[in-house]
């Protein structure tokens, strides 16, 4: 008898077992088939073949919904354990393959990538010699597109916006400072009262950017009017404009750190002002990240843990 059963079960396959389990869960051939994206007739045929090979009646089709026989219940429990074990082994293999010599593609807006993230990427790859981080710089809209289209696993941007398909992990809150060219009258000052900016020549971000709206709100709340000379959509161009003018701007401190070190730009803090630019990590909801992507995100969070921020808008 055991030899006959062994010959019969050798004809079984995991697909038939999976179909049987889905039909049992839903007590319906049509619903089980729908979950596996196969036709109802195909599901019915596979379960019938299963019963023929085993020589057992697993389902009682005379009832609606379907009834599972005693043999069927016993077989179902065993099959569930088999499928869980099989999937677990596959998951372990994938994790092992991805963890030691994995690669993760990261997309970032220019200002965060150039002035903050690039250093973290280098440190991460030094500590994880088998891993590679491919960092690319994008416009904010392109960061979202790359994440949603699975072109990249991890995105990093300021003022990130969560949605039905995008999950945001708060990471940094960058201090905003007054940036002055080295020859400006305020350049020698460490801290000033914000009202001293009234009437000052100012280089601003473009109006459709979240960071511009935040700076404008600050000026309105403090009843400060500045003379806007020009508007740009990125920090690098604003810094170049400062270098050839007598204007000032309000920028994230990491974005001017190198120029401050070289003496090209002076960093001045505004007394009693707590302007900050939130930076967050974005991933696609529902996507199973590779081990390398998870490790990289954990590295970022442990190096500079984020704090809850109000998430809305976008900025470069």
Domain locations in the chain as residue ranges: 2-98, 102-172+278-303, 175-276
Please give the average per-residue pLDDT across 277-301, as a whole number.
92
* Lowest-confidence pick of 91-100, 179-188, 255-264: 91-100
pLDDT digit string (tens) for 210-237?
999 999 999 999 999 999 999 998 899 9
Q: What token pair was written down for 308?
A: 């809850």
Which pLDDT does position 12 carry in this prediction? 64
- Euclidean distance between CA atoms 227 and 197, whole angstroms: 9
* Lowest-confidence pick of 58-62, 123-127, 307-311: 307-311
CB distance 242 to 178 below 8 Å = no
Question: Residue holding tokens 């030094």?
Answer: 126
Which pLDDT does position 101 carry in this prediction? 54
Please give the average per-residue pLDDT across 95-109, as a whole number.
75
Of the pLDDT bands very low, low, confident and very high (cuts 50, 70, 90), residue 5 is very low
275 compared with 91, residue with greater pLDDT: 275
For residue 316, is pLDDT > 90?
A: no
**Core vs surface per residue 26-59: b (16+ CB within 10 A) or e:** bebbeebbeebebeeeebbebbeebbebbeeebb
The answer to whether 2-98 and 175-276 have equal CATH topology is no
- Euclidean distance between CA atoms 181 and 187, whole angstroms: 7
CATH topology of domain 102-172+278-303: D-Maltodextrin-Binding Protein; domain 2 (3.40.190)
Q: Respond yes or no on whether the N-terminal peptide bond of residue 65 is cis (omega within 30° of 0).
A: yes
Closest CA to 87 of 288, 268, 256: 288
Of the pLDDT bands very low, low, confident and very high (cuts 50, 70, 90), residue 314 is very low
Please give the average per-residue pLDDT across 136-155, as a whole number.
91
CB distance 314 to 211 below 8 Å = no
For residue 35, is pLDDT > 90?
A: no
- Euclidean distance between CA atoms 121 and 296, whole angstroms: 9
Architecture of domain 175-276: 3-Layer(aba) Sandwich (3.40)
Which pLDDT does position 201 carry in this prediction? 95
For residue 107, is pLDDT > 90?
A: yes
Of the pLDDT bands very low, low, confident and very high (cuts 50, 70, 90), residue 114 is confident
For residue 88, is pLDDT > 80?
A: yes
Of the pLDDT bands very low, low, confident and very high (cuts 50, 70, 90), residue 265 is very high
pTM attached to this predicted model? 0.62
Please give the average per-residue pLDDT across 187-208, as a whole number.
93
Architecture of domain 2-98: Orthogonal Bundle (1.10)
Which pLDDT does position 164 carry in this prediction? 86
Of the pLDDT bands very low, low, confident and very high (cuts 50, 70, 90), residue 13 is confident
């Amino acid at each position: 008898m055991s030899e006959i059963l062994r010959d019969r079960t050798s004809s079984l396959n995991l697909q038939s077992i999976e179909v049987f389990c889905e039909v049992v869960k839903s007590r319906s051939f049509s619903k089980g088939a729908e979950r596996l994206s196969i036709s109802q007739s195909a599901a019915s045929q596979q379960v019938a073949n299963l019963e023929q090979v085993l020589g057992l009646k697993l389902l009682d089709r005379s009832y609606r919904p379907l009834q599972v026989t005693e043999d069927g219940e016993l077989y179902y429990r065993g099959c569930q354990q088999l499928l869980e074990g099989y999937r677990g082994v596959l998951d372990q293999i994938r994790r092992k393959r991805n963890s030691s010599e994995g690669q993760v593609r990261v997309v970032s807006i220019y200002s965060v990538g150039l002035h903050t993230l690039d250093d973290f990427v280098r440190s991460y790859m030094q500590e994880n010699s088998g891993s590679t981080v491919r960092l690319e710089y994008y416009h904010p809209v392109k960061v979202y597109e790359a994440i949603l289209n699975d072109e990249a696993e991890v995105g990093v941007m300021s003022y990130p916006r969560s949605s039905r398909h995008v999950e945001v992990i708060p990471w940094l809150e960058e201090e905003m400072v007054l940036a002055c060219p080295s020859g400006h009258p305020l350049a020698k000052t460490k801290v000033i009262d914000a009202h001293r900016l009234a009437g000052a020549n100012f280089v601003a971000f473009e109006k459709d950017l979240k960071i511009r709206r935040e700076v404008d709100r600050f000026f309105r709340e403090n009843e400060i009017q500045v003379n806007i000379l020009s508007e740009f959509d990125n920090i690098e161009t604003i810094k170049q404009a400062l270098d050839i003018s007598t204007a000032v701007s309000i920028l994230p401190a990491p974005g001017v750190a190198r120029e401050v070190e070289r003496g090209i730009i002076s960093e001045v803090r505004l007394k009693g002002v707590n302007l900050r630019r939130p930076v967050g990590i974005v991933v696609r909801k529902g996507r199973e990240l590779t081990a390398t992507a998870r490790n990289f995100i954990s590295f970022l969070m442990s190096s500079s843990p984020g704090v809850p921020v109000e998430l809305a808008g976008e900025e470069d």
